[in-house]
Amino acid sequence: MKYLDSNDNLGDAECSNDAIQSSDLLTRKLAEHEAVLQSARGAKRIKPLLDSGYILLDLVGRKQEAWALAREALEIALAEENWLSAVEACDIIYQAEQEDAVLALAHGIWLGVTYPIDPELSVAMLQHLVDETPPDSDGAAVAAATAVYIVDLRAEGTQRDELGFFTNQMMGAVARRHTNGACDTQELFDIWIQRLELNDPAKFLPRLSKIVDILVPQGQWWFDRDALREKIPAQ
């Protein structure tokens, strides 16, 4: 999987030499993308900007640079109505851990749930929300339920199997931490699902919307959500 697998090559290195080689490889790849950016204009800048941003996240001390490239990519992607790339940019901005990280997360979740993009990226953004949410909060449960729903709605074939397994594991982990380990049987898990109304999209999706609204203070949205809703493809 592209967005949910750990891409931290340096962290996985077995020795210092492996870490150096991994860093050198990333640096060479970064140079290739930078060369493309020298002549790229408009929408053609999006991919090398995003590719560079993800690489910079894996290089020590370069998250600020990743943030800057992702911000540029986001502006272009929104103008081009390239929703997948816009969410990728939000993902990088969030992982860059700058002051607007939570804002980026909220925007990425809104776009990733609203538009029918790659379900794996939508799930990745919802996993970020789970990680940000206190164990005893219902917010993580709502995020996990939404992830399960998106996979059921959008994923197909092998991706459906892989993401289905991942999101079911996510839901189970959220249930255990939310109940302090009390959901240790299928019966108790089902009761927990029903109690929090996590089996009804008409109930948990509006709750997710409220969570996102809380994450974005009034007047700080980066785009007009009403205008973007009008661009949603007909189902």
Predicted confidence at residue 19, as pLDDT, reads: 61
pLDDT tens-digit readout, 173-216: 999 999 988 888 999 999 999 999 999 999 999 999 999 999 99
Question: What is each CA distance from 85 to 31, 104, 135, 138, 205, in whole angstroms?
Answer: 21, 13, 31, 29, 23
Predicted confidence at residue 21, as pLDDT, reads: 61
- Quick one: average pLDDT of 76-83? 97
**Is-above-0.85 flag for pTM?**
yes
DSSP readout, 127-186?
HHHHHHS-TT-HHHHHHHHHHHHHHHHH--HHHHHHHHHHHHHHHHHHHHHHTTT---SH
Predicted confidence at residue 13, as pLDDT, reads: 44
What percent of the chain clears pLDDT 90, i.e. is strictly above it? 83
What value does the mean pLDDT of the chain take? 92
Pull the structure tokens for residue 154.
């959008």
Cα dihedral 139/190/198/147 (nearest 10): 80
Predicted confidence at residue 12, as pLDDT, reads: 45
Predicted confidence at residue 211, as pLDDT, reads: 97
> Predicted confidence band at 231 (pLDDT cuts at 50, 70, 90)?
confident
Predicted confidence at residue 181, as pLDDT, reads: 84
Q: Is pLDDT of 15 > 90?
A: no
Residue 11 vs residue 41, higher pLDDT: 41
Predicted confidence at residue 232, as pLDDT, reads: 84
pLDDT tens-digit readout, 59-75: 999 999 999 999 999 99
